[in-house]
Structure formats: structure tokens, C-alpha cells
A and B are shown apart, each in its own frame.
Chain A
Amino acid sequence: MMEIILEHYNYWLGVIIMMAGFYTVISRGNLVKKIVGLNIFQVSVFLFYISIGNVKGGAVPIIEKGITLYSNPLPHVLILTAIVVGVATTALGLALVVRIKEAYGTIEEDDIHNQDQSL
């Protein structure tokens, strides 16, 4: 039992953080909070991915004389691209929130829905 926990705890905690971000997106009405929840979801996916590439006793993947065991460098490459694309998406989402506020006067999802339905 203890071995199962020690071998898999990083995956489990990653899933817990992912579900926390998912719950924020689907149950809270404020648009800025939804974007924060989306970012939490993204960071949990990055943590999950990098923990797959980790090697116990390995070093940072920068080649140096005398070190033979390195961590896997390929997930790092993927996640670098993903982080940068994530910040581009966040910036666009926040720009859209600013325009929604100027058009509707509020950024609560229920008020926007009511205003749309009363037109």
C-alpha cells in the first residue's frame, strides 16, 4: 500500500489540482475567475507531464563531463511551447473580458445572460 502511494502520489495530486481548476471554470460565474481556473488547469497538466519525464537520481539535462544519468529533455521542450501559448491565450481572454465589460456593463455570467435574454 505504501509503495503504491509513494509511486503514484505525483499523478494523484496532479489530478486533484486539475479537478480544482475544472470546478472553478464550471461553477463560478465571474469571468476573471474562470480565466484563473483555466490557468490552474493548464499548470496541473504541465506538472503531470514533467513528472513523467523525471528520473530519480538524474541531473538537469545540460551535458557536463562526468554525469551519466540525465532527466528526459523531451517533455521540457513540449511544455516550454505550451506555457508560451498559454500566456497568449490568457492575454486574449482578458482582452475579451475588457470588451465584454464595456458592452454589457458587468462581467458576471448570470447578468450577461439576463441582458441577452431581455433583448
Chain B
Amino acid sequence: MIDNIVDITLLSLIAIHAIAIIRMRSLFAVVMLFSGFSFLSALLFIVMDAADVAFTEAAVGAGISTVLMLATLALTYTSEEADKEEKEPTHNPWLPLSVVVITGGLLIYGTYNLPSFGDSNAPSQLHVAPYYLERSLPETGVPNVVTAVLASYRGFDTLGEVTVIFTAGIAVLLIIGGRRRVKPQVENRDSNRET
């Protein structure tokens, strides 16, 4: 019972954060709310017994993602412009709202057949998971089942993931590797627009 209460409280806090991110117009506040959202989701992962995932989400979401977004805000808004706020929304919100409500309704209708939360006889816990839980310690000598599956049983996927990270680093170097070179041209265009 107390488990359910903690779950519902955390999920409601996360939903409030998400709705606040939609309504806020100051971009600095949006990035800070996103960092809090990441941290709350890491707490939720711990409540759901996922220790490795919580560790990674806290380090990556509340750490690296927030720092990179703040660096982007610093690079794209100079101090002469308005206080890092987004513009007034000009479009009618009814079309996106109806699309979102219809999609959400269909998805909630689709969750009626899913097994109940925490059921130990659900099909997802019965076929492949006991195999790994029984055989990972005798075969690999590593007590952490997630590390054993990630590094030994599914090691090829992890090789692909490391290659994806490496490619992202190379791509970022290609896109914004050196110092900025177009600064005088941007000033010319701004002065032409004012006249």
C-alpha cells in the first residue's frame, strides 16, 4: 500500500513538471524544470527496482543534458536580446490539442489488456528472464545480472552502442568544432533589417 502511494506521488509530481514545462515561457526555467524532471524520474526508477537505470538517468539527464542545454542557451541568446523567452504562440492550439487528446485516448484504451502492475505471472517474467537469472552467476562469475547480460550475453549490441556514442562525438566536432567564423555577417544582416 505504501509502495503504491509513493509511486502515485512521484508520478503525479513528474506529470506536474511536464505540464509546467509546456506552459512556461522563460527558457532558463524550462531547462531547470527539465533537470528536476530527470531527477524525479531517476527516483521513480529506484522505486521500481532498476538501480543501474536510475544511476544512468540521473548522471546523464540531470547532468550532461542540462549542461549542454544551458550552453546552447548561452550561445543562442546574446545579452542585448530579450531575456531568453520564447515568442508568444501565434497558432491556434485547438488542432494540436485535439490530436494529442485523441492519441492519448487510443493509447489508454490499448492499455486495458496489459497485465497488471507488478504481476509475477505476467508473460514478460516467465520465459526468458528466469534463464538469465539462473545462469548468469555460474556461467560468467558476475553477480550483477544487468552487467552480465549487457557485456557478455548481448555484448555485440553494446559494441554498436559505443560506436553510436563515438559517431555522435565526431558529428558534433564536424558541426561546431572550431571557433565561430560568421559573426561579422550576422551583424551586417541585423543592421540591414533595422534600416
Task: Map CB proximity to B onto A82-97 as digits: 1 under 8 Å, 0 otherwise.
Answer: 0111111111101111
Interface size class, chain A: 35 or more
User: Which B residues are in CB contact (< 8 Å) with A19?
Assistant: 100-101, 103-104, 107
Interface size class, chain B: 35 or more
Closest A residue to B73 by CB, please name it: A32
Max chain A CB contacts within 10 Å: which of B3, B12, B38, B96? B96
Q: Is the CB of B100 within 8 A of A47?
A: no
User: Which B residues are in CB contact (< 8 Å) with A77?
Assistant: 146, 149-150, 154
CA separation between A10 and B116, bound complex, in Å? 10
Q: From residue B188, how far is it (CB to closest CB) to chain A in Å? A: 11
Q: Is the CB of B49 within 8 A of A28?
A: no
Q: From residue A100, how far is it (CB to closest CB) to chain B in Å? A: 9
Q: From residue B3, how far is it (CB to closest CB) to chain A in Å? A: 8
Q: From residue B141, how far is it (CB to closest CB) to chain A in Å? A: 11
Q: Is the CB of A51 within 8 A of B96?
A: no
- By secondary structure, the A interface counts as helix
Q: Is the CB of B15 within 8 A of A8?
A: no
User: Which A residues are in CB contact (< 8 Å) with B167?
Assistant: 88
Q: Is the CB of B118 within 8 A of A55?
A: yes
Assuming the contacts A47-B41, A87-B60, A108-B86, asked whether A26 and B96 have C-beta atoms less than 8 A apart, the reply is yes
Q: Is the CB of A12 within 8 A of B175?
A: no
Q: Is the CB of B27 within 8 A of A43?
A: no
User: Which A residues are in CB contact (< 8 Å) with B137?
Assistant: 63
Q: Is the CB of B30 within 8 A of A36?
A: yes
Tell me, yes or no, whether A1 is within 8 Å of chain B by CB: no
Closest B residue to A110 by CB, please name it: B90
List residues of chain A with CB under 8 Å of any chain B CB: 6-24, 26-30, 32-33, 35-37, 39-40, 43, 46-47, 50-64, 69-77, 79-81, 83-92, 94-99, 101-103, 105, 107-108, 110
Q: With contacts A17-B18, A61-B144 known, what are 6 further pairs, Cβ within 8 A?
A: A6-B117, A13-B8, A77-B149, A77-B154, A89-B168, A108-B87
A sample of 13 cross-chain residue pairs with beta-carbon separation below 8 angstroms, ordered by A number, consists of: A17-B15, A23-B97, A30-B86, A40-B37, A47-B45, A53-B125, A58-B120, A74-B129, A81-B158, A87-B60, A91-B68, A94-B72, A101-B76
